[in-house]
Structure 1
Amino acid sequence: MKIVVADSIFLTEEYRKRLEALGELEIYDSVPVSQEEFIKRIKDAEVVIVGRYGVNARALRSAPKLKMISLWQTGFDNVDLETATESGVIVSNVPSYAFDSVAEFVFALSLDLLRRVHLADMNLRKGLFDWKYYVGNQLMSKTIGVLGTGEIGKRVIEIAHGFNMNVLSVTAHPSSDKEKALGIKFVDLDTLLLESDIVTLHVPLTPETEHIIGARELAKMKPTAVLINTARGKVVDEAALIEALKEKKIAGAGLDVFEKEPLPMDSPLLEMHNVVLTPHIAFLSEESLDECTYMSIENVEMFIKGKPQNVVNSSVIKG
């Protein structure tokens, strides 16, 4: 069994040894600079562990021995699942990790925006020491709108209660019992947008959620509100967001994900002072990295034992 770690992931000596015990191991500790390089890395692999690099139809068809892809992440929108299934390739992800890391990062971005931390730091380094430029707002008693009540959304809600915030939420499956248990109020999307001081997104990228926040939705938000996106870049219409920020339809945005990653250096977002930008790192803590690697390797181990787990294209097994 040839196993290829196809791009850069968190891999300690302990985890390396676990992989070596499973078969012939080849490790690449860098992101491929081109599709051709990625294909060259995986062409003879039977199992591929891949982080953020996309696995398209061309790559899949260039790896005839490939039997399994273990994703070092939760999202799987960067894999051509249709082609993988047609080719009989099992794709497994890490569905349950980094809840705390991502939820905490929501408030790191929110506090930075509301208290203008990034501006104060930037200007202090230039010698500007004057408090009146940085009058901000506190989280206490503000309303946060949480779009999605999966594990991360629920953790965000718990932290919000610690700040004594009012919580509104939109979910696909509302119920009075769930509402009571979470201490929130379920509303429709328009109400959430109209009433929230912070809108934070915690939905997967699907055809239904792509551009769920667009020009129409941004126009409904308070001019003093901020948008936080640590989910997937394409759940927000980035062009519409840029326009809303320019026209001051909303006060700011904290963005960890983008429609195109890496964020192009000519993006107008890079010139805006009412935006905090980070390079897809909400999940990035020592604790979550270890958890993700543990599970992605366990996915490989279970596949080799004939008991694949966390499979996102389950029809390949049923077929």
Structure 2
Amino acid sequence: MTASIKAVLLGDAMIPSPGFEQAWRKHLGAFGEPLVVGEWEPDWSKLQYRRLEVEKTGPEHETVPDQIVADGADGELLAGLFVPVSSKVMDAMPNLRVVGVSRAGVENVNVAEATSRGIAVFHVMGRNAHAVSDFAIGMMLAEARNIGRAHHAIKTGEWRKTFSNSAIVPEISGRTIGLVGFGYIGSLVAKKLSGFDVRVLVYDPYTAAEVLTEAGVEPASLETVLSESDIVSLHARLSDDNKGMIGAEQIALMKPTAILVNTARAGLIDEPALAEALRENKIAGAALDVFSTEPIPADHPFLDLDNVTLTTHLAGTTADALANSPFLLMADIAALLTGGKPRFLKNPEVLQDPRFAAWLESVKQG
């Protein structure tokens, strides 16, 4: 016999609530019906703005979702994708013990506050790793071979054969690819690049050199990655320590024939410095899926450049990645609640908190 858990499931325009409800029923249905099922932000364009603001500033500036104010005060579990989980939300849900977001990043959760209150935080590592790694390699090829620019030219009535990099258009084979970050996504990029017969340099201060060597890549400093690579691809998570890590000084280390790819976080790059470098042809090109402001403003300098490929924050968005992530999340929460070992618990120290431990024991006892 298991205890009932009062769950609040709030989807959004990217993963609507039925996905979370179906995942709940499959993996946690034994704990009863959800208390609340609804949408935090069902409007796609509004979601893109709100989630980017939360990514940049954290969840505290957001208000408590209406569904929580109206019906969710007794909730013990809160799950969603981009729903902001602030201290105000925790105040409004005094019985909250589990927060789950079906994404790798936890920028929309005040994790420190949750931990201090004995609330477990779950996320889903690697849910879109294949999607992003595929896209990153696609961006390398698109920028190097002018795929997007040629497509645009044909669509606008021009049969274009000359581009800013026409004198140096490279083949990928035999080149040096530099990866900044070697988590699940970075390691998949390296694995998928192996068929191109390339040399792969990796800068990741959090991954042991022997792990990189065993993966068939070469550990290197950031300076070496930037100065020796023909293509540099960013796969690091954004933190206070690495914000703006690729600025004018770092770009100056790159070859004039090099390409910079970013499918990670916009904050890793000093955008004005990159725009200036591209305008002055200090590097050959860039391919970017993320921007400090989204949608990108109409007066952004990138829009006037012919040596940059731009996409609309698409790298992690595939039907497979989105549809599967609530099921991965609920399965991992279920593992903890049924005595197993979860893979995606962000703050495992909370397991020692007497408030959480007592709640978990009550759930297991029924």
TM-score in same-fold range (> 0.5)? yes
Q: Give the drift of 1:108.
A: 0.9
Count of matched residue positions in the alignment of Structure 1 and Structure 2:
318
Q: Does 1:317 align with 2:351?
A: yes
Q: Give the drift of 1:263.
A: 4.0
Please name the residue that 2:326 is paired with: 293
- 1:106-160 deviations in Å (ceiling 9; x for gaps): 1111111011111111111121114234843221222110112222212111222
- Residues 54 and 246 of structure 1: is their aligned pair in 2 closer, same or farther, counting only changes over 3 Å? farther
Whether the aligned pair in 1 keeps the contact of 2:126 and 2:185 (CA below 8 Å) is no
Q: Does 1:149 align with 2:182?
A: yes
Whether the aligned pair in 1 keeps the contact of 2:101 and 2:123 (CA below 8 Å) is yes
Q: Does 1:5 align with 2:10?
A: yes
Alignment of 1:219-258 (within 5 A): 219-258=252-291
Cα distance in 1 for partners of 2:156, 2:281 equals 26
Q: Does 1:105 align with 2:135?
A: yes
TM-score normalised over the length of structure 1: 0.87
Please name the residue that 1:27 is paired with: 38
Whether the aligned pair in 2 keeps the contact of 1:54 and 1:78 (CA below 8 Å) is yes
- 1:54-86 deviations in Å (ceiling 9; x for gaps): 433344434434332211100113322122223
Q: Does 1:122 align with 2:152?
A: yes
Partner of 2:162, secondary structure, is helix
Q: Give the drift of 1:95.
A: 1.4
Cα distance in 2 for partners of 1:78, 1:36 equals 10
1:40 aligned residue (63, 66, 81) = 66
Cα distance in 2 for partners of 1:294, 1:57 equals 26
Where structure 2 has 5 or more consecutive residues not aligned to the other structure, the ranges are 1-5, 51-60, 354-366
Whether the aligned pair in 2 keeps the contact of 1:69 and 1:91 (CA below 8 Å) is yes
Of Structure 1 and Structure 2, the greater helix share is in 2
Please name the residue that 2:236 is paired with: 203
Q: Cα RMSD over matched residues?
A: 2.8
Q: Give the drift of 1:9.
A: 4.3
Q: Does 1:175 align with 2:176?
A: no
1:16 aligned residue (1, 4, 21) = 21
Select between 250-259 and 260-269 the one with higher mean Cα deviation: 260-269
Whether the aligned pair in 1 keeps the contact of 2:290 and 2:313 (CA below 8 Å) is yes
- Residues 318 and 266 of structure 1: is their aligned pair in 2 closer, same or farther, counting only changes over 3 Å? farther
Where structure 1 has 5 or more consecutive residues not aligned to the other structure, the ranges are none
- Residues 12 and 242 of structure 1: is their aligned pair in 2 closer, same or farther, counting only changes over 3 Å? same
2:121 aligned residue (87, 91, 95) = 91
State the one-letter code of the partner of 2:109: V
Cα distance in 1 for partners of 2:102, 2:304 equals 32
Q: Give the drift of 1:302.
A: 4.0
Select between 121-130 and 24-33 the one with higher mean Cα deviation: 24-33
- Residues 263 and 56 of structure 1: is their aligned pair in 2 closer, same or farther, counting only changes over 3 Å? farther
